[in-house]
């Protein structure tokens, strides 16, 4: 995949083994000792099967988790990254066997508003690896090229509504790639094999080595707009202006009261960016689903929030979240003594050392203030965000929520608690419709058009989010924060389908050495959810 052109991220300056010659020495000794431990683990757990972290695990699963955890420790202390590529470099189709490479142009000006606008983070064109529904018959056969971008595709042929996915890969915003050879491609590859989607766009978004927040959201938004345009998911503005001109106010919104009606003052670009108009008159020729695993799930939530908050593009039809990271602010406790370790230390390969994670997240934020870490765009399941939108009682109620506690009675109780308006903390500045925990005098980036925690039009945290499917292992370290996410989404009326993978670590569908029967059952559950979404209205 080639070497990446990337600057040295600031957090590497503080990591203990990120500089030579200590870096090489540490990495080599860590890898050697890990390889030497493999036969010891195999022998030990064969003789002492009761000592296995989970009774259902075989020796292969035990070794897989332990081996990966030691490797992840290297990335945290030495700043080693793997599987990355230069996002600004094209990939020739003849070098690909399963996908084709496609550029998405810069996000159009009329869509640029809200959190993604940043004077220090420029918009750029974005590459995507497109997985077709039908794989080439021969692996070395070059896939058929698509028409030019200004040519629309007739998806209504045969009367079938198409379903397209946009895939955002995981890797903590510093590892992996959308390339078909990346290990993250196990996910779109399996979905293509199961014929779940007509096409999947794997986005080569900028990692933190290339640009800080909100670069990844910018890139995801550009591909989302590209897909909508390509599949005719945007309205015909000329037709709209001819038939509905008398009913459109200056802002492009429809009003039942004639007193609010004003002469048409919209340009076509302004009209395209008006939320109620687009959603009212839009007739999609396809359905679009956003898919993300781990950090990619975090990015999916940020993109869906931006689409909802700004209202300039029609919303996606569904979200598929695979072990989503939804509380990076966990690495920034209010005080060292208030730090609460994540659960399942012995059953997951993710490490939970706050110091290196905090350094990494600080690089991710770039020039933004540390308070941005508590934005719903970054940490939607953090205690501070949940407390702001639902109150302390709700935030405390979901603090230790587990998969086993996900019952109808419990969720009804959470909805009742969440329906009571929270009392703002002393000194909190209130925003329109919702309390906003912005303390007086707090410095914000001048490019932000909203406070750190805000709610447009008085919406709750997940109001108007599309139906969602969450895949989660009950042995992974993110269980608690993902369940808090599910609790908040459910309380706001989002249709959430939770797929529990028993005894599974983080992002189990990415694990190479896992029980194939367990993974197949999980994929079948995902397939049923996608099929139901495809046929729903």
Kindly report, residue by residue over 299-313, the tens digit of the pLDDT: 999 999 999 999 989
Q: Which numeric CATH code is attached to 93-141+155-236+284-316?
A: 3.40.50.1820
Q: Specify the higher pLDDT residue, 459 or 89.
A: 89
Q: For strands 318-322 and 468-473, give the pairing.
A: parallel
Is the pLDDT confidence value at 234 over 70? no
Q: How confident is the model at residue 388 (pLDDT cuts 50, 70, 90)?
A: confident
Is the pLDDT confidence value at 156 over 60? no
pLDDT of residue 470: 98
pTM, to two decimals: 0.82
pLDDT of residue 357: 78
Is the pLDDT confidence value at 4 over 80? no
Output b/e per residue, 465-492; b: 16+ Cβ within 10 A.
bbbbbbbbbbbbbbbbbbbbbbbbbbbb
Q: How far is CA 408 from CA 36, 334, 468, 479, 487, in A?
A: 48, 33, 17, 19, 11
The closest alpha carbon to 378, from 339, 326, 340, 342, belongs to: 326
Is the pLDDT confidence value at 99 over 70? yes
Kindly report, residue by residue over 185-196, the tens digit of the pLDDT: 999 999 999 999
- The boundaries of every CATH 3.40.50.1820 domain in the chain are 93-141+155-236+284-316
Kindly report, residue by residue over 317-338, the tens digit of the pLDDT: 999 999 999 999 988 877 666 7
Q: How far is CA 452 from CA 80, 247, 436, in A?
A: 31, 35, 8
- Residue 469, strand partner residues: 320, 497
């Amino acid at each position: 995949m080639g070497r990446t052109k990337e600057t040295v991220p600031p957090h590497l300056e503080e990591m203990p083994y990120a500089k030579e010659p200590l870096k090489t020495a540490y990495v080599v000794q860590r890898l050697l000792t890990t390889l030497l431990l493999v036969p010891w683990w195999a022998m030990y757990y064969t003789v002492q099967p009761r000592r296995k972290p989970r009774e259902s695990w075989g020796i292969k699963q035990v070794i897989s988790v332990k081996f990966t955890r030691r490797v992840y420790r290297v990335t945290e202390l030495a700043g080693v990254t793997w599987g990355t590529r230069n996002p600004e470099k094209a990939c020739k189709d003849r070098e690909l066997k399963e996908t084709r490479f496609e550029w998405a142009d810069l996000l159009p000006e009329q869509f640029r508003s809200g959190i993604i606008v940043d004077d220090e983070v420029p918009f750029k064109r974005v590459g995507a690896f497109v997985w077709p529904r039908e794989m080439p018959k021969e692996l070395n056969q070059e896939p058929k090229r698509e028409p030019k971008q200004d040519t629309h595709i007739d998806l209504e042929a045969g009367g079938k509504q198409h379903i397209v996915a946009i895939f955002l890969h995981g890797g903590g915003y510093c590892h992996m790639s959308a390339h078909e050879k990346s290990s993250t491609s196990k996910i779109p590859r399996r979905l293509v094999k199961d014929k779940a989607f007509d096409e999947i766009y794997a986005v080569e978004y900028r990692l933190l080595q290339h640009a800080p927040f909100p670069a990844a959201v910018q890139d995801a938004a550009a591909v989302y707009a590209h897909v909508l345009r390509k599949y005719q998911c945007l309205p015909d503005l000329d037709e709209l202006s001819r038939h509905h001109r008398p009913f459109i106010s200056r802002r492009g919104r429809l009003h039942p009261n004639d007193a609010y009606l004003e002469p048409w003052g919209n340009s076509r670009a302004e009209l395209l960016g008006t939320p109620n108009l687009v959603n009212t008159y839009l007739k999609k020729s396809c359905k679009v689903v956003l898919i993300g695993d781990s950090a990619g799930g975090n990015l999916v939530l940020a993109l869906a929030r931006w689409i909802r908050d700004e209202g300039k593009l029609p919303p996606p039809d569904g979200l598929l979240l695979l072990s989503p990271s939804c509380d990076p602010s966990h690495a920034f406790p209010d005080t060292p003594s208030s730090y609460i370790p994540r659960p399942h230390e012995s059953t997951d390969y993710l490490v939970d050392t706050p110091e290196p994670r905090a350094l990494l997240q600080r690089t991710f934020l770039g020039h933004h203030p540390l308070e941005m870490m508590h934005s719903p765009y970054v940490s939607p399941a953090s205690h501070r965000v949940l407390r702001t939108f639902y109150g302390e009682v709700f935030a405390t109620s979901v603090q230790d929520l587990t998969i086993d506690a996900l019952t109808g009675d419990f969720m009804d109780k959470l909805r009742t608690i969440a329906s009571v308006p929270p009392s703002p903390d002393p000194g909190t500045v209130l925003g329109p419709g919702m309390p906003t925990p912005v303390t007086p005098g707090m410095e914000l980036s001048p490019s932000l058009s909203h406070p750190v925690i805000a709610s447009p039009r008085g919406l709750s945290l997940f109001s108007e989010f599309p139906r969602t499917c969450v895949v989660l292992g009950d042995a992974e370290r993110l269980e608690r924060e993902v369940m808090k996410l599910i609790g908040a989404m459910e309380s706001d009326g989002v249709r959430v389908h939770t797929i529990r993978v028993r005894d599974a670590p983080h992002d189990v569908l990415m694990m190479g050495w896992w029980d194939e029967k367990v993974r197949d059952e999980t994929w079948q559950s995902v397939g049923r959810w996608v099929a139901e979404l495809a046929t729903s209205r």
